[in-house]
Amino acid sequence: MSDKVISDYNGYDYKKIFWEDADREYEDLADRMAIRKLIPKRMEKFADIGGGYGRLANEYLKHAKKPIIFDYSKSELKQAKETFGDKVETRSGDIYELPFKDAELDGLMMIRVTHHLKDMPKAINELYRVLKPGGMAIIEVANKRTLPKMARFVFRRSKVNPFSKKPANYTEISKDGFYNYHPKYVEEIFKKTGFKTEKVLSVSNFRSRALKKLFKTKNLVKMENVAQSTLAPIRFAPSIYYKLRKPEE
């Protein structure tokens, strides 16, 4: 295993603690909405990288003949198997050394994983390696360039500069590291790796306790549907979704 693995969810009930016991219905629906807008309708072999217990599996099961959930946590993968059984294959391992052959996958997605990545270029290179030429990747990136982070920096409430392309490591959130990235930084990595960007979405645009209380989830989701494409060019949302293509040889 790589010494760059920084998050171990083994023994942690991510499904219950992070999703079911917290007020994150809006975030979950925003993720699903974005995936539906980006995912190809037909694929042979598809992998959910860092897919954990399979939270988003229902968004790709109908599109992929051979869906695979990959995660570092074996306890999360056990939950996925308990829920989906033979509908999914599970594989565990290191994201920096993926247990897939070169050009094995027709498509993949990686959602809510980049904030755990100490070495983004290495991880993206691995994703590129395992995709077939012409293969598609949906990658969500934790954005450091959000309006709240800009405001905190400008008013000297934070030392993290959201305008700098240097990755931000919020060690106060996690002692092992919690990373956010500038959109230009990751887009340069995609380009250098060889990926072609086909579409970008701005996701979880209204991730705020105050907004949730004021507008309620149903109304926020309606607003989100419009905002995902409309606000994509300014890259201000907490999550930026990229639909990437590996060029045909």
Please give the residue that has the higher pLDDT: either 12 or 154: 154
Look at residue 7 and tell me if it is in a domain: no
Q: Is the pLDDT of residue 234 over 70?
A: yes
Look at residue 136 and tell me if it is in a domain: yes
- Which residue, 18, 39, 35, 63, is CA-closest to 204? 35
Q: Is the pLDDT of residue 3 over 90?
A: no
- Which residue, 193, 204, 188, 209, is CA-closest to 237? 204
- Residue 4 has a pLDDT of 56
Q: What is the largest CA-CA distance in the chain?
A: 53
Look at residue 179 and tell me if it is in a domain: yes
How far apart, in Å, are the Cα atoms of 181 and each of 6, 144, 185?
16, 5, 7
- Residue range 15-44: average pLDDT? 92
Look at residue 82 and tell me if it is in a domain: yes
Look at residue 6 and tell me if it is in a domain: no
1 pLDDT tier (thresholds 50, 70, 90):
very low
Look at residue 4 and tell me if it is in a domain: no
Look at residue 71 and tell me if it is in a domain: yes
pLDDT tens, position by position, 144-179: 999 999 999 999 999 999 999 999 988 777 667 789
- Residue range 16-36: average pLDDT? 92
Domain total for the chain? 1
- Domain around 161: 14-245
Which three-class secondary structure state does DSSP give residue 199? Answer: strand
Q: What is the CATH number of the domain that holds 91?
A: 3.40.50.150
How does DSSP assign 15-69, residue by residue?
Answer: IIIIIITTT-HHHHHHHHHHHHHHS-S-EEEEEEET-TTTTTGGGTTTTEEEEEE
Look at residue 2 and tell me if it is in a domain: no
**Tokens 């931000």 found at:** 168
- Residue 174 has a pLDDT of 67
